[in-house]
């Protein structure tokens, strides 16, 4: 991946820097979910069998492409008196699906398990 762009309707943004950072973090989590994070569970015992967190790969700064965050929409007085909406981890929503669709468009193979791996599907 070379670039990620996320457009979010979060109403009135009270702290643009904090909101942007929260959404960047969510998008980075989505990238990890799609491409590297793999928690392995023993189906017989329902126990996590990853030896330690060293085996659980998460993206670091060198793995993350240029990310652009856009705020769209207007204050929404029906959600709160100030027209705000929570930012939370909404940035993670849809990232893995978008990457899976990009893989499908590039390869013609529909991958349905995360992390995405052409060898397993």
Q: Which residues are catalytic?
A: 89
Q: How far apart are CA 18 and CA 76, in angstroms?
A: 20
For tokens 């457009």, name the residue. Answer: 7
For 62, which DSSP code?
G
In whole angstroms, what is the distance from residue 51 CA to residue 32 CA?
19
For residues 67 and 25, give the distance between their C-alpha atoms in angstroms, rounded to a whole number. 10
Tell me the backbone φ, ψ of residue 4, rounded to 5 degrees: -130, 140
Query: Can the peptide bond before residue 115 be classed as cis, meaning omega within 30 degrees of 0?
Result: yes
């Amino acid at each position: 991946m070379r670039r990620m762009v996320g457009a979010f309707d979060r109403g009135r943004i009270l702290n643009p820097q904090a909101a942007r950072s929260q959404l960047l973090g969510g998008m980075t989590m989505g990238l990890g979910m799609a491409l590297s994070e793999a928690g392995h569970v023993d189906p017989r015992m329902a126990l996590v069998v990853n030896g330690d967190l060293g085996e659980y790969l998460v993206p670091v700064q060198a793995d993350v492409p240029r990310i652009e965050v856009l705020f769209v929409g207007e204050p929404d007085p029906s959600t709160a008196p100030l027209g705000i909406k929570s930012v939370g981890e909404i940035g993670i929503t849809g990232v893995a699906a978008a990457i899976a669709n990009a893989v499908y468009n590039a390869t013609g193979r529909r991958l349905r398990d995360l992390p995405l791996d052409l060898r397993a599907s």
